[in-house]
Structure 1
């Protein structure tokens, strides 16, 4: 075991603060990583505040991790000390079910082990995430990060990036398709970038006129204000695929009606309340309504390689570790363009 400092919530109503962590020494298949940057996901806030009613305290959030390898176990063949690597939302799975064997560990039939607040499959307790100086992860769940990319701006790709990349790839979005992205936040801004890079005609839907210019800058060919009934009416039946990245309550039928025959709407934003779906929105044009969860390890590596080839990263705002509570408050107000990333060099030396 070795000790390192993390930033933890000790109760749902407690501010995050430094805590001493015991990390395992690398086993035969393990990679030890000094964390350089960690993205801030809305899931971190939900978990720290126990809003999903399953948090085990103390909770050290963080699943958008980029750092450098410092040590590897004797059986590790894929990584060596000094390499730039990443860790996303998972650190283990059963590895035996049909989903795991197919490289879709996110759909593990037993349930994947989360990077934080997960139960270690080897009986080593609850996992602690990337708001810390170091982490030890099985090599099967470690990813290579292209050196040519800004490592801080890569961090959000490990969650926000793969969450949007995976459905766009699965539904084969590409040239000749008209694609809608609903919402311009941490997820939506990556959806715009990827859909444009895949060669689709990209239309951003937003409720905010202040985001029109940014949507065009990020790669949208057109921006539609979804609060404008006339503008929405003009788009009916024109889309092959829509990616909905909105996590707040909204009228999903308004977007289903924009799909062509056999078009698909995929929900990746996770609203707190169920979304009422009109069956006639689906029946009349044989439309599809689906969902998608992050991505498996092979696809996440594919995404990182694609980003390296095309120079794609997240738009970020860097923060200090002791600014996390302010970042959470701003995130609740959607006051970030478009992802906070913690500079781990600002982590306290001791708890």
Structure 2
């Protein structure tokens, strides 16, 4: 076993603290990654509070991981020592169901995915521990190649926020001539703006906060609509081909569905605490659709990383010491971050 250091939540709703544990040995198909940076996702907060249930504690969060490979198994084909690599939200799946065979492992139909943290390793039965740690052992099939051309700290959030927004844009073939609305300008929303704009779409940020307009335009948005302003909202009725909804707070979907053109689609990425209510007429009247999307498969995540390297797209971040992780959660709840906290894991040794 490999000794490892991390920060972990000892139990639900208990602040994170230093934690020593053991990783499995590097198997024939595994790589060992010395973690350099790990993004702080809002789902980390949900899980350490056990708001989604079935949490495994102690819990080491973190699924936006980048670092350098320091060891490879004897049968590893696609990586070598010294490569920069990334790990996203999953480290395994059944590998044999139709979704896995289609490269859509995130929708694994047999066992479900093995989460990078909060899951159970299939071979050992031990809990998986995430990226708020100094190293991680991952099967090469669930490991991503990361370009050294980009700032690694700013690449880390691409492994969740990036692929979560890239996948639906690709699934619905968003490109030139499309009008895309982005609801919410946070970790997910700011990536949706950058990616949709890079794909050639006209991008409008839909926000309750007028003071975010300058930031939205700087990120690449072409238009900005203050949704609390009835006249501004009216100006984009029946306007959008797609709306990327990143909001996890309760809201009235009807007002936003009316912004879709005929055959328009709202894609849900956020998870509100209560199920939204929608009157069927809001859909029927314009043959509109509501859809959902979950992260992306391994091949598509690699495609996203390559696309971002080609177009020089990275996340806007604030780097933090790991000792400040609990404070960062409080700031995240207040929206006091542009747009993603990223932990510098070198600070784990301080």
TM-score normalised by structure 2 residue count: 0.99
* Cα RMSD after superposing both structures: 0.8
1:38-187 equivalences under 5 Å are 38-110=38-110, 111-187=112-188
For the 8 Å contact 1:252–1:275, the answer to whether it is kept is yes
CA distance, structure 2, for counterparts of residue 239 and residue 291 of structure 1: 17
1:241 to partner: Cα distance = 0.8
**Number of positions where the alignment pairs a residue of Structure 1 with one of Structure 2:** 349
Counterparts of 1:104 and 1:2 in 2: how far apart (Å)?
31
Q: Distance in 2 between matches of 1:160 and 1:141?
A: 17
Q: Is the 8 A contact 1:9 1:60 kept in 2?
A: yes
Unaligned runs of 5+ in 2: none
Distance 1:152 1:164 in 2: 19
8 Å CA contact retained: 1:93, 1:112: yes
1:1-351 equivalences under 5 Å are 1-110=1-110, 111-348=112-349
CA distance in 2, matches of 1:52, 1:174: 35
Residues 154-180 of structure 1, C-alpha deviation per residue, up to 9 Å, x if partnerless? 000000000000001100110011110
Gaps of 5+ in 1: none
CA displacement 1:170-198 (0-9 Å, x = unmatched) = 00110011110111000000000001000
Which string of whole-angstrom CA distances, capped at 9 and with x for unpartnered residues, describes residues 218-265 of structure 1? 000000001111111111111111100111111111111111111111
1:18–1:348 contact (8 Å) kept in structure 2:
no
Contact 1:11 1:57 in 2 (8 A): yes
Per-residue deviation at 1:122?
A: 1.1
The alpha carbon displacement at 1:302 in A equals 0.1
Structure-2 separation of matches of 1:183 and 1:46: 18
Q: How far apart in 1 are the matches of 2:105 and 2:26?
A: 22
- Report how far residue 348 of structure 1 moved: 3.2
3-state SS of paired residue (1:12) = coil
User: The residue matched to 1:20 in structure 2 has which SS?
Assistant: strand
Cα drift, residue 4 of structure 1:
1.2
Q: What is the CA–CA distance in structure 2 between the aligned matches of 1:22 and 1:169, rounded to whole Å?
A: 38
Q: Helix, strand or coil: the match of 1:347?
A: helix
**How many Å separate the matches in 1 of 2:218 and 2:208?**
17
Residues in 1 aligned to 2:169 and 2:252: alpha-carbon distance in whole angstroms: 22
TM-score (norm 1): 0.98
- C-alpha distance in 2, partners of 1:252/1:316? 29
1:56 deviates by 1.1
SS in 2 for 1:85: strand
State the distance in 2 between where 1:251 and 1:348 align: 46
